[in-house]
Amino acid sequence: MDVSRVRTVEIAGCSMEPLLPLGARVVVVANGADAVSPGDIVLLETPTCRVIHRLIWLGVVDEQPVVFHRGEINGGGIGVAAATAVVGSAVAVISSPRGRGFEDNLAAIDAPKGLWLAAWRCRAFCCLHRLGRLVPTGLRRWARRKLLAQ
């Protein structure tokens, strides 16, 4: 493995609790959007923020590849980012402020039970969006609110 593609990131928020508590440090392998799949924990970087979330779905909106993502916390909403924002996958927890044992394989941790429903909602959103003008504007707005809000 190319060491230059590996970095550590400190968890600065609570959206991934209890899996990744505030202050935990995780190892991220920079492999881009092509190497991730739904259920993976990914690092997303945009010009305004950096976030680690669970990847729910890879889709296409306005002919641009996007990723739908969400934290582990109950009631968390679904976010959408350009696929180019995916830096890579979180593969291990190397320190935790709560004394939790080291987790050396985050990919083996099962996704929450409701992930399939969230993925279905994201897929439905992409399908509705592709229909474009065939779907009335009011219905598209309603679908966007319902599918992306929890």
CA 107 – CA 111 distance, rounded (Å):
9
Number of domains into which the chain is organized? 1
Highest mean pLDDT among 3-17, 21-35, 97-111: 21-35
Across the range 11-18, mean pLDDT stands at 87
Structure confidence at residue 79 (pLDDT): 86
Range of the domain at 76: 3-148
User: Looking at the predicted structure, is the pLDDT value of residue 66 above 60?
Assistant: yes
Q: 112 and 53 in contact (C-beta within 8 Å)?
A: no
Least confident of 30-44, 69-83, 131-145: 131-145
Structure confidence at residue 150 (pLDDT): 41
- pLDDT confidence tier of residue 63, bands split at 50, 70 and 90: confident
Packing angle, helices 137-148 and 115-131, rounded to 10:
160
Across the range 52-68, mean pLDDT stands at 87
Across the range 88-108, mean pLDDT stands at 67
Least confident of 18-27, 73-82, 100-109: 100-109
Higher local confidence (pLDDT), 137 or 61: 61
Tell me the percentage of the chain whose pLDDT exceeds 70: 68
CA 40 – CA 36 distance, rounded (Å):
6
Q: What is the CATH number of the domain that holds 69?
A: 2.10.109.10
